[in-house]
Chain A
Amino acid sequence: MKLSFRKAVEADIEFIVEGIIEAEKSGSDKLPYTTLFDLSEEDTAKLIRDILDEDIEGQEWCLQHFLIAEADGQQAACLSCWVEGSQGLGSGQLKAQAMAYFLDKVWNEAADKLKLLAEMQLPRLKGYVQLECIYTHKAFRGQGLAGRLIEFAVSEHQKNDIDFEGCEIQLLANNSAAVASYTKCGFLKRRESTCNDIRILDLLADGTRISMVLNRQNG
């Protein structure tokens, strides 16, 4: 299998939308935007496309932050990477701003559910490269592609960014396969945050969020 890595282009948008949706499900059938905002998967895909179109740097749903792994010329895996806080506002604020803009009243109606989510929010490490929306198409799973793509993303930042401090990945605790895969890449669990309100499990696959970090010195 011939493997190559490149930056995403507009022609990758549908693959990226699929990747974001699968990554958001965190290995379950529960899509947070369906449970939070009563959006169908189709409406969620449209919301993601709308935000990707805006090209808002500094948050995960930005086309120019995506990298693509190709296997024998086919899109096989993707991830989003950006430096947290490089655009002033944090990625959480930028993404929330974009979502609230497009969802309008639907966003306001979800206020109580959003407060539950906020309870388990972990502030991302400013200046750290953030890796998100890590996804491998099912036809290419079990071959270590996501790990190779992560290594590529890390090495590109180490090579090109003199201020590179390290990388952070945030994920839900239920996704043990992903935790094992990131540990294999050298990431260590740094902190976690739990929402103790049982209603969180109506919204997400797990009530605990984990932050894993790869510092420059152990990279």
Chain B
Amino acid sequence: MDKSKIRTDLSTLFNKVFKCGEIEITDTLTAADVERWDSLSHLTMVSEVEKHFGIRFKLKELTGMKNTGELVQLIADKTG
């Protein structure tokens, strides 16, 4: 899947989960930049991303992710 489409979809999902309004999904965006991105909402976000893109992350992939740039790359790799 095209990375710009992934970013657009993520922006909608992030708004739904973190209630953060329109948010630009940059490669350097992290949990520290989003006010309601805590440990519980993080898990909701992961679950929503898996459902939306029809993918499943491995634990190592999830815990090794440093920013949304890596999340976008992972989704792109999994969706082909």
Contacts and interface: CB of A to CB of B under 8 A. Distances in A.
Contacts of A95: 39
Contacts of A100: 43
Please indicate which of the listed interface residues A54, A96, A126 has the most CB atoms of chain B within 10 Å of its own CB.
Answer: A96
B43 A96 contact: yes
B39 A54 contact: no
Nearest to A57: B63
Determine chain A's interface SS by DSSP, over half rule: helix
Interface stretch (A7-15, A81-89, A146-154): A81-89
B32 A54 contact: no
Interface string A112-126: 001100100101001
Contact of A88 (B40, B43, B67): B67
B57 to A, nearest CB: 9
A114 B67 CA distance: 25
A96 B65 contact: no
B19 interface: no
Nearest to B58: A101
A56 B67 CA distance: 16
A68 interface: no
Interface residues of B, number: 19
A96 B63 CA distance: 10
A98 B70 CA distance: 18
A27 interface: no
A96 B59 contact: no
B45 to A, nearest CB: 10
Interface in B42-70: 42-43, 46, 59-60, 62-67, 70
A97 B46 contact: yes
Interface residues of A, number: 24
Contacts of A97: 42-43, 46, 59, 62-63
Contacts of B62: 97, 101
B51 to A, nearest CB: 14
Interface of A: 54, 56, 58, 85, 87-90, 92-98, 100-101, 107, 114-115, 118, 121, 123, 126
27 contacts: A54-B60, A56-B63, A58-B63, A87-B64, A87-B66, A88-B66, A88-B67, A89-B30, A89-B42, A89-B63, A90-B31, A92-B38, A92-B39, A93-B39, A93-B42, A96-B39, A96-B40, A97-B43, A97-B46, A97-B63, A98-B59, A100-B43, A101-B59, A114-B40, A115-B40, A118-B40, A126-B32
5 closest Cβ pairs, A-B complex: A88-B66, A96-B39, A92-B39, A93-B42, A56-B63
Given A92-B39, A97-B62, 13 more contacts: A56-B63, A87-B64, A89-B63, A89-B65, A89-B66, A93-B39, A93-B42, A94-B63, A96-B40, A96-B42, A97-B42, A98-B59, A118-B39
